[in-house]
A and B are shown apart, each in its own frame.
Chain A
Amino acid sequence: METLWIVLLGLLTAGYFALAGFDYGTALLFRLLGRDDRERTRALGAMTPFVLGNEVWLVAAVGVLFGAFPRLEGELLSGHHTVFVLIVTGLVLFTASVQLRGTNPAWDGPLIAGALAVAIGWGWLAADLTGAPPLLWAAGVVVLFALHGGTFVAWRLPGHAGHRARVLARSLVLPSALFVPAAVLLADPVRHSTPGLVGAAAVLVLVLGAGVTTGRTAFLCTAVACALPIPVVFAAQDVVGPETMAHGTTLSVLTPVVFVVLPLVLLFQFATWWMVRVRHA
């Protein structure tokens, strides 16, 4: 029972970073992807159909955190108060600006600022947990998300914007790859080094893999590379322990809910992807 909930929390968190990661990444890059505003709108528009579905993975993760790990929820959030205020403020700014922008570039500033704040916030949290320099992690997560946004647009959009995205993504592979060993070497000793090292190695391989592949494969590489860091840091520092979990009755109430909801979400989100799928001519 305990393992199930730890796996579930990890899955939802990983899902959030894999999906919302390209939301933020596209927001960071799209100004560079078009020669004029019409092209930029189109680059951004490759991502917007998925925003609602992507961002709610975090909402679900925090819901599970509250319901199944109540003592961790309070401790984690209040213990990193300013970091989470930054993340949440960035999230609000980002979500609202995506909606408000439409074809109006006046919202580009708040949109990019929101995405940047969220990325920096998650990096800062990981740095706080591992003792590595916050600046390194902040830059690392920003670069990782941008890389993910790049492979996403490169996969989804044909023509100039897609080509520019591919070039930009390629140029972000090396900085992303350098960030991984730096984050490992500059961290304090962690509680469980094995998951930490295995996770870091996986991220490194995936980032390099994104550099030598194209299209959907490159996108899947960066998706997993974005999904891993925060859950790996949590695992290495043993953040999610059974002692923080809710008791039996609460978990048995929540379990059937999860088994109904999760397959439904996967099915319907897959339907959204299928409906706006890339049509190869």
Chain B
Amino acid sequence: MDPLGLARTQFATTTSFHFLFVLLTLGLVTLVAVMQTRFTLTRTPVLERMTRFWGRIYVVNYALGIATGIVMEFQFGLNWSGLSTYAGDVFGAPLAIETLVAFFLESTFLGLWIFGWGRLNRWAHLALIWLVTVTAYASAFWIMVANGFLQHPVGYEEHDGVLRLVDLGALLANPTFTAAFPHVVGAALTVGGVFVVGVSAFHFLRRTPEVDFFRRSLRLGVVTTALATPFLIGAGIAQFPVINHLQPGKMKAMPGLGIPLSFMMLIGVVLLLASWITLPLLARDWIVRLRFPLYLMVFSIPLPFIAAIGGWVVREVGRQPWLVYGLLRTEDAMSPVSATSMLISFLAFTGVFAALAVADWVLISRIARRGPEPETAPQPVSALALAL
């Protein structure tokens, strides 16, 4: 493969992996914040144990996901220096805000949440998880602002062959951003909901004694999915007029893009129907007694992830051959580095990412299978707090 092919494959692979981490992080942190809020208000012990159990899975995913985020950030400068040279003034602004407002603050808040467990006032501790949640969504917000600019550049002027930012408001009002951001939020909440439902269903199938624990978790997951999917699908459909207007060539750009698109839509509709059919069956635990739906729930865990990758492929591949739509071609943005250097970074990054994804899923499924620890022996919410 030539350096351009390597650089593109590397970006596609690493971004896909990164997106898997991000979706679960966003979805789970919201549910954890809801659980902790209910615990703080009612002081019901099972809600604290739920916060701890799901919070532990969330922290593992976050801490490994942050590693993928670091690579993403460096990758622009490493392999696509043409982008920062030509459009860095505009594209770099939302990206810098993202790292400062979101990444920098989010990790700081999360670190304090982990070590504040049992040390801080419970309302202060609750405020921290909501700060983590808000900064996590702020991260998605600013990344989508940056991505929206690549899809449909606005708010700039060109001087001496370089773009300058003239209007941040235009970036924020960019239809390719405003249409896509709600869709991403819906996708993240769906991922979180389906994940919690699937793990809870697994424990009902295994007849884990923690019935109340997983009944509450399952309900929260089903309700989240039922509320998120109509929003997700609505926001998805609302993007078609925007794309037809601003990127008319998108669907024709690459033959075969219709396949991930229809597969993604099929998964969305299936999850919408399934969650709404399940809602009435939550009464008197019918869904648990029927048993068969529990298998479907466990097997559904990967579905929203697959759909999300499908959606991302359509958005990003459909932008080609442009990196900044209509302004900068992908091939012109590549860094002037040798084929060998590109091959080294390709092998290093994709290898490390694949290993990270495997480690993440092995660790998460181990924690998920083990279930919550007994009430009498609570474990810290993160391995990072072990020795304290």
A interface vs B, CB < 8 Å? Answer: 41-42, 44-46, 48-53, 55-60, 62-68, 70-71, 73-78, 81-82, 84-85, 88-89, 91-93, 95-96, 98-103, 246-247, 249-250, 253-254, 257-258, 261, 264-265, 268-269, 271-272, 275-276
- Apart from A66-B92, A73-B88, A257-B96, list 14 A-B contacts with CB within 8 A: A48-B386, A55-B70, A63-B103, A73-B76, A74-B80, A91-B67, A91-B70, A92-B67, A92-B70, A249-B89, A268-B109, A269-B108, A271-B112, A276-B115
> In the complex, which of the residues A67, A95, A268, A272 contacts B63, with contact meaning CB atoms closer than 8 Å?
A95
Measured between beta carbons, the chain B residues less than 8 angstroms from A249 are 89, 164-166, 168
Measured between beta carbons, the chain B residues less than 8 angstroms from A103 are 383, 386
CA distance A42 to B352 in the complex (A): 28
B64 touches A85 (CB 8 A): no
A73 touches B388 (CB 8 A): no
Measured between beta carbons, the chain A residues less than 8 angstroms from B211 are none
Q: How far is the CB of B361 from chain A (nearest CB, A)?
A: 12
A78 touches B108 (CB 8 A): no
> In the complex, which of the residues B60, B78, B90, B111 contacts A78, with contact meaning CB atoms closer than 8 Å?
B78
The reply on B263 being an interface residue by CB < 8 A is: no
> In the complex, which of the residues B82, B164, B348, B356 contacts A74, with contact meaning CB atoms closer than 8 Å?
B82
Measured between beta carbons, the chain A residues less than 8 angstroms from B335 are 74, 77-78, 81
> In the complex, which of the residues A67, A92, A254, A257 contacts B71, with contact meaning CB atoms closer than 8 Å?
A92
Measured between beta carbons, the chain A residues less than 8 angstroms from B103 are 56, 59-60, 63
Closest 3 CB pairs of A and B: A45-B387, A70-B88, A67-B96
8 Å CB interface, B74-106 against A: 74, 76-85, 88-90, 92-93, 95-101, 103-105
Measured between beta carbons, the chain B residues less than 8 angstroms from A67 are 88, 92-93, 95-97
Chain A residue at minimal CB-CB distance from B340: A82
B107 touches A52 (CB 8 A): yes
B107 touches A89 (CB 8 A): no
A89 touches B348 (CB 8 A): yes
CA distance A74 to B97 in the complex (A): 18
Q: How far is the CB of B222 from chain A (nearest CB, A)?
A: 30
Given the known interface contacts A74-B335, A250-B92, the answer about A275 and B116 at a Cβ–Cβ threshold of 8 Å is: yes
Give the secondary structure class of A's interface.
Answer: helix
B107 touches A53 (CB 8 A): yes
A88 touches B71 (CB 8 A): yes
Hey, what's the 0/1 contact readout for B349-386 against A, CB within 8 Å counting as 1? Answer: 10010001001000100000000000000000011111
Measured between beta carbons, the chain B residues less than 8 angstroms from A95 are 63-64, 66-67, 70
B95 touches A66 (CB 8 A): yes
The reply on B326 being an interface residue by CB < 8 A is: no
The reply on B245 being an interface residue by CB < 8 A is: no
> In the complex, which of the residues B82, B107, B165, B337 contacts A253, with contact meaning CB atoms closer than 8 Å?
B165
